[in-house]
A and B are shown apart, each in its own frame.
Chain A
Amino acid sequence: MSTDLENTLYIFMLATFLGLEVIRKVSPLLHTPLMSLTNAISAVSVVGAILITGAQGATTLSKVLGFIAITAAVTNIVSGFLITDRMLKMFKKPGGKK
């Protein structure tokens, strides 16, 4: 089990550095859509909420908390991806033509 923790820590370390490098290259033009996109992506935490809510013999407390968590995360996923795309569609190519 502790080797698994070790693996996860390595993944965390690498993902953080990768994230810093990748995000640094994003043009300031797109910082607002970037924020809504990363928000939607991190709402993959819905996976954890599903496992908590859908566990066999989950208590009512687990189900209620899990239910709220899924609702919040799904709201972020749906609105996050859609609004990012809506914003990006507005960035017209130079030349001004649609």
Chain B
Amino acid sequence: MAHAVSYIYLISGALFILSLKWMNSPVTARRGVFAGEIGMLMAIAGTLLAFKVFNWEWILAAFFIGTAAGIPIAYIMPMTAVPQRTAMSHACGALAAALVGTAEFYRANQFHEILPTFVMVPLMLETLLGFLTFTGSLMAMGKLQEVLPQRPITYRGQNLTNFTLFGIAAGLAVWLIINPTETWIFPIFAGLALVFGVLLIIPIGGADMPTVIALLNSYAGLSACAMGFVLGNKLLVIAGALDGSSGLILSIIMCKAMNRSFTNVLFGAFGQLQVAHGHAEKRPVRSASPEEAASILEAASSVIIVPGYGLAVAQAQHKIRELYDALMRRGVDVKFAIHPVAGRMPGHMNVLLAEADIPYDRLYEMDDINSEFAQCDVALVIGANDVTNPAARSDKSSPIYGMPILDVDKAHTVMVIKRSMSPGFAGIDNELYYMDKTLMLFGDAKVFVTEILKELPARAAA
């Protein structure tokens, strides 16, 4: 029977690959989820039937609790909280891998079985990545949920502390690989990995979260992959490798979209620049009322809306949908320009706008829409900041110099909905706000859009 299961795993593996392949288009994506579910069911059922499994009460209880927790998480979680949920699922996945590795290590020692090097190497990788991703993801979740401060937490000698800690943990891992019976080292190693996860994430600011989430995704996948090597299970290797490479690709895309390197994101604590750039004196800006904004929007023939994290915070997606409808009805062409790092995780803005029923063919990627700003009458920026800052193109001294941005400043008129003039997380002043063609709309995104909407029907009736 244990032999037959490897064929079931083979089919599961194929279904997982198809599942991801079908994600390439919104048309086939749901079929992809279905394929993944079937693959998962086959793998679990095959395992339970093929192997002599004992301790059923433990297994069933865990399945019950996991299911009972998973269903409400999937259905009650508001779409604005998706980044937090994703961070939490990285934590869960990494924890599972780390604990399985730990259990396997102690099991072998219990039975005086000396684990060979080719098992110990992946086992130490699995537990190292698993434990650090577990606490790291919890920290990311805390920052996204705003339980922890979103700004980077930094102190002198931070990188030195982190490298030293990681060095000791890695050293202990090597020691354990050479002497797999030294069980007393394991808890110290695990503790260091857990602490390292915390220290790695606290200096990272909110704006860098898309990269960090993707990177943690990759680590969690690699940890599951290493588990496959430890247990000699090829399906786990395949699934882990797919997850690991997916996280890797996404983090590379995020890094490119910010013109930064991995090391810079992880060790470069963006927030330190705040001090250097905090001296900007007060400069005059033009502001406008909802009434004026409504008449400008109404007179336009094309509008590009640029959403950012502020939209998620204000939960303004449904109001923006109403604005989209109202303008489209008046014959205004409305498009959405989405920067790869807008929001707190890859694809965050797309999901929010899709939730509000905005058809996805109206959502444009940066490279596809940048050339259109020059012909567009109004660019409406809602809750986005650094991704629209022209300093990224022109000012070599700016910390975001070289970052690809949306060319919002090329539009005929720019309107920016913003709570106040306070700079974003990166603490960089945005030149866009001081341009002659820019109108600042001060207020909460949701409230302001609601007020614009109130002005629109009144005009249509008049």
Contact = CB atoms under 8 A, between A and B. Distances in A.
B69 interface: yes
B163 to A, nearest CB: 27
A8 B103 contact: no
A91 B357 CA distance: 7
B85 interface: yes
Interface string A55-90: 111110111011111111111111111111111111
B249 interface: yes
* Interface residue SS majority, chain B: helix
A41 B66 contact: no
Contacts of A80: 70, 74, 89
Interface in B207-233: 213-214, 217, 220-221, 224-225, 227-233
A60 to B, nearest CB: 10
* Interface residue SS majority, chain A: helix
17 contacts: A1-B118, A22-B20, A31-B347, A32-B82, A34-B346, A35-B217, A41-B19, A45-B239, A48-B100, A49-B62, A54-B55, A59-B110, A62-B103, A70-B66, A74-B62, A86-B74, A96-B357
B429 interface: no
A49 to B, nearest CB: 5
B47 to A, nearest CB: 5
A91 B26 CA distance: 7
A1 B244 CA distance: 26
Query: Of A7, A27, A79, A95, which is in contact with the most chain B CB atoms at under 10 Å from its CB?
Result: A79
A44 B233 CA distance: 11
B346 A35 contact: yes
Interface string B340-384: 100001111011001101111101010000000000000000000
A70 B63 contact: yes
A26 B239 contact: no
B244 to A, nearest CB: 7
B11 interface: no
B96 A49 contact: yes
Q: Which 6 A-B pairs have the closest CB atoms?
A: A74-B66, A78-B70, A31-B347, A19-B245, A82-B74, A70-B62
Contact of A65 (B102, B228, B361): B102
Contact of B53 (A24, A29, A50, A69): A50
A20 B244 CA distance: 9
A75 B95 CA distance: 12
Interface stretch (B27-35, B293-301, B396-404): B27-35
Interface residues of A, number: 87
Contacts of B348: 32
Contact of B243 (A17, A38, A65): A38
A54 B56 contact: yes
Contact of A53 (B62, B75, B213): B62
Contact of B106 (A11, A30, A61, A68): A61
Interface in B169-209: none
B47 A68 contact: no
B316 interface: no
A91 B59 CA distance: 36
B33 A32 contact: no
A73 B106 contact: no
Contact of B63 (A42, A62, A74, A94): A74
B75 to A, nearest CB: 7
A37 to B, nearest CB: 6
B236 interface: yes
A91 to B, nearest CB: 4
B93 interface: yes
B351 A87 contact: yes
B224 A42 contact: yes
B416 interface: no
A71 B107 contact: no
Contact of A84 (B33, B230, B245, B360): B33
Interface stretch (B36-44, B144-152, B262-270, B274-282): B36-44
Nearest to B230: A48
A39 B220 contact: yes
Interface string B85-122: 11001101101110110111011001000001010000
Contact of B36 (A18, A40, A58, A74): A40
Contact of B47 (A27, A42, A51): A51
Given A33-B29, A72-B96, A88-B30, 10 more contacts: A4-B232, A19-B243, A33-B347, A39-B90, A41-B16, A42-B93, A51-B47, A63-B55, A72-B93, A72-B95
